[in-house]
Amino acid sequence: MSTWLQTLISTPVIIAGLVGISAAVYAKRYSSIQPIEQAKEVNAALHSDTGTAKMAQAAASVMSPPSTELAPPKLDPISPSDLAQYDGSENGKPIYVAIKGRVFDVSPRGEMYRKGQGYNVFAGKDGSRGLGMSSLDPKDAVPDISTLDEAQLKTLNQWEAFFEKRYNIVGTVAKE
């Protein structure tokens, strides 16, 4: 009877041990440094100065991990009128968002930038002020950042860094 009791008592320990070892092997084999970097980004966003910005940045960071396959940045000039053609209104056409004059291809996250979606307000334009203000109001989605305060400029820089890690830079906004 003691053998039966020992087996019964030790079985959960054996199973737990095997599951734990399997999980550790899986994590070691299939994970990368990416979760650590994401955790650092979320932590930085959570400790930023602005409440809305830190929540948006933290949520965005978790929802879309940094890309590991970005192309070298392009400096091709794109006029505001040309940029406006990439506003997410046409299926199959790239979607561009400019921040501080640099144009990012956000097509990989089209579900967030297509017409009718929350971030479409920034598609096809330089909406730097709106990003700095954490505003989805179309009147704020303009390139002029001269009215942003220090905290808003910090938020804008966080968004720019976020985009740099996730989206290809396809050009710069040129004067018309």
Distance between CA atoms of residues 51 and 36, nearest Å: 23
Q: What percent of the chain has pLDDT over 70?
A: 64
Q: In which region does residue 77 sit, left (phi positive, over 0), alpha (psi from -120 to 50) or beta (all else)?
A: beta
Specify the pLDDT at position 68: 78
Question: Which tokens hold the place of 135?
Answer: 């505003």
Give 99's strand partners: 102
pLDDT at residue 28 above 70?
A: no
Specify the pLDDT at position 88: 96
Q: Domain 69-173: what homologous superfamily?
A: Cytochrome b5-like heme/steroid binding domain (3.10.120.10)
- pLDDT tens for 46-66 read 455 554 554 455 455 445 678
Sorted by sequence, the CB contacts under 8 Å of residue 141 that are 6+ apart come out as: 121, 122, 125, 127, 129, 130, 135
- pLDDT tens for 107-133 read 999 999 999 999 999 999 999 999 999
Specify the pLDDT at position 122: 98
pLDDT at residue 83 above 50?
A: yes
Residue 13 banded pLDDT, cuts 50, 70, 90: very low
More confident residue, 143 or 68: 143
Distance between CA atoms of residues 78 and 124, nearest Å: 11
Domain spans, the chain = 1-31, 69-173
Q: What is the average pLDDT across 17-26?
A: 46
Q: What is the average pLDDT across 132-151?
A: 97
